Chain A
Amino acid sequence: MKSLETLQAELTAALACSLELVPNPAVPAQSSLRIRSDQALALAHFLRDTPDWQFDFCSNVTGIDWPDRTEKIKVKRLVDGVEKEVEETRTVPGFLEVVYHLYSIARQDGPLILRQRTANRDTDTTVTSLTPVWRSCEFQEREVFDLFGVRFDGHPDLRRILMWDGFVDFPMRKDYVEPDDYEYEPTPHDEVLERAQRHYPAGEAAA
């Protein structure tokens, strides 16, 4: 496997598309390339069909939810005429991400990890479906749609797959609130007791 930087340079040269390298600090250092949704289909076709690449096997498709987060940054501000370093919080908007793990069976090579991201988490959650290129994405993209709410543009059959059709939530998102049907242990303490008392209507909770 060539290094990802070479791959990035070669792909950028071949297709004139913009690719962002997403580093992976963990031990295996399987870094990935973030691709733009509008260029995804052309790139996927190129990766599959060009003899030098031949990524003919899309192994794994998955979604990741990155909710809005706040981070603290230090800014220099004029406070009472004196320049001071002030800590400010700012909100980083969240997004949904879809990750594809590609392998080449013909060249016994891989993985090449591609990522697509949506604009945000609620109004614009569309990315390009790669099912027309790799059939193995079909059910997995449906699963990502079902559990994360990512819409795949160009998917032939985008329906819920694991949950039932009338279900409205996206349960794998980090902010999903599950239905309150949990049965609490009969002798709860502290935090669990509070949750349990909130859970049971007054009559039922024989506290």
Chain B
Amino acid sequence: MIDEGLKNELAKQGVFVTSVQELYNWGRSNSVWPLSFGLACCAIEMMAASMARFDISRFGSEVFRPSPRQADLMIVAGTVTKKMAPQVVRLYNQMPEPKYVIAMGACAISGGPFKQGYNVLKGIDRFLPVDIHIPGCPPRPEALLHALITLQEKIAGQPLTGPERPRHLNAAVSGEYPVPEFGPHDLQPPRNDGLWKPLPLVRPT
């Protein structure tokens, strides 16, 4: 690791020094291509974020890809219903590594206002690993931009070696998650137990 002071001193002299990790993460954190994948109301705010006023392209993410094969980021924008959940997981599985998930809005986080619904999945984290949650119903486009910046910081901070390295550099970890099936009453299984556990109950004293 190069000393920060020395690096700044060298920069004044016109010498630019960086590490492979920084360069690599700088590159990939500034061109996160989202999947153009809208589920419900939040998708409209996602679209608004990509339009002239909020201009997501300032952050290198204006290239919404219709195909999961070309996308890095899945923005789960809206309510995930039980009927849609298998498709969402399948889309995630089809995305190449490295891939990230933003759960946008209350519905994607927990079911939100529709939580009591019989056909509503109570949060996409039951099936997918979520990197960033954005609260709001719907979150404003600025909130999406903030989430994107947070994700970029997360990517920039990932070490390329060691046990903390990202999944795409670690052959032992799979980036595919089991797709739930339609059962007679509910999805089977209703959640991915390896990913998500219900909150522990605390009895008020």
Contact = CB atoms under 8 A, between A and B. Distances in A.
Whether the complex brings A and B within 8 Å at their CB atoms is answered yes
Interface of A: 162-169, 171, 176, 178-179, 181-189, 193, 196-197, 200, 204-207
A183 B118 contact: no
What is the predominant secondary structure among interface residues of chain B facing chain A? loop
Interface stretch (B133-141, B165-173, B177-185): B177-185
B185 A200 contact: no
A204 B197 contact: yes
A202 to B, nearest CB: 11
A180 to B, nearest CB: 9
Contacts, number: 69
B50 interface: no
A186 B184 contact: no
B198 interface: yes
A165 B202 CA distance: 39
Given A176-B118, A183-B110, A200 B201 contact: yes
A186 B200 CA distance: 6
A178 B187 CA distance: 12
9 contacts: A164-B83, A167-B184, A168-B184, A169-B185, A171-B118, A179-B185, A183-B199, A196-B201, A207-B202
A206 to B, nearest CB: 4
Nearest to B120: A181
Given A167-B182, A167-B185, A183-B110, A206 B122 contact: no
A166 B201 contact: no
Given A171-B118, A183-B122, A207 B185 contact: no
B186 A200 contact: no
By size class, the interface of chain B is 20 to 34
A181 B183 contact: no
B129 interface: no
Given A181-B122, A181-B190, A204 B198 contact: yes
Contacts of A187: 201-204
Given A164-B83, A167-B184, A181-B186, A186 B202 contact: yes
B119 interface: yes
A142 to B, nearest CB: 15
A207 B186 CA distance: 27
A179 B118 contact: yes
A182 B122 contact: yes
